[in-house]
Amino acid sequence: MKQALLIIDAQQALIEGGAGERPVYQKEKLIEQINLVIAKAQTAEAAILFVRDTDVAEGKGEGFQIHTGIQVPEEAPVFNKQATNAFYGTGLLEYVKEKGFGHLVIMGCETQHCIDTAVRTATVQGMDVTLVADGHSTAGSDVLTAEQIIQHHNQILHGHYNVDHFSVVRQAEEDLFVPTHDTYR
């Protein structure tokens, strides 16, 4: 099965905070885990894809770019989005389907918005998903702490399914590019 690592909104200004925004929870660990999984994807010969949100840093400058601590492969495609859904109006869905990716490993920011939406959309669109439990983050909300949001999503998205395709949640240290979905079917 063809696979891809999808890293969503891991942008400088979003991760570090600024302009009245808080940094994401455990930002150093997030960057470390993203780099670990990028290396695993390269070893597994999986594609590596990035998505950037044009609302971050008004879509310009260093703040809009992928975080400087992330080791972005030169050949990695970057898709820009205007909506919460990484697949909406970006060309990402068409690209993923054209390349025949049946399994996506998903990481990035923010958990309750873009990560949640990407996991759910991918399963509806015919892909199995592995969400990296310690590879997504958020700055939190006025109601829940970042840690609570992350834990909640790790729980509710593990086993989220759309009959034929579903998501599992695994740690970055696991062999993410050996999907475990078939053991649950």
Lowest mean pLDDT among 89-93, 136-140, 158-162, 166-170: 158-162
Q: Tens of pLDDT along 62-119?
A: 999 999 999 999 999 999 999 999 999 999 999 999 999 999 999 999 999 999 999 9
Q: What is the CATH number of the domain that holds 153?
A: 3.40.50.850
**pTM for the whole thing?**
0.97
Average pLDDT on 156-185 reads 93
Would you state the pLDDT for residue 18? 76
Among residues 181, 183, 135, 127, the alpha carbon closest in space to that of 158 is found at: 181
Q: Tens of pLDDT along 15-74?
A: 999 766 899 999 999 999 999 999 999 999 999 999 999 999 999 999 999 999 999 999
Higher pLDDT, 132 or 183: 132
The SS3 of residue 170 is strand
Q: Given its phi and psi angles, is residue 166 left (phi above 0), alpha (psi -120 to 50 degrees) or beta?
A: beta
Average pLDDT on 129-157 reads 97
Among residues 79, 111, 108, the alpha carbon closest in space to that of 94 is found at: 79
For 8-38, b/e burial (b = at least 16 CB within 10 A) is bbbbbbbbbeeeeeebbbebeebbbbbebbb
Tally the domains of the chain: 1
Domain assignment of residue 130, given as a range: 2-184
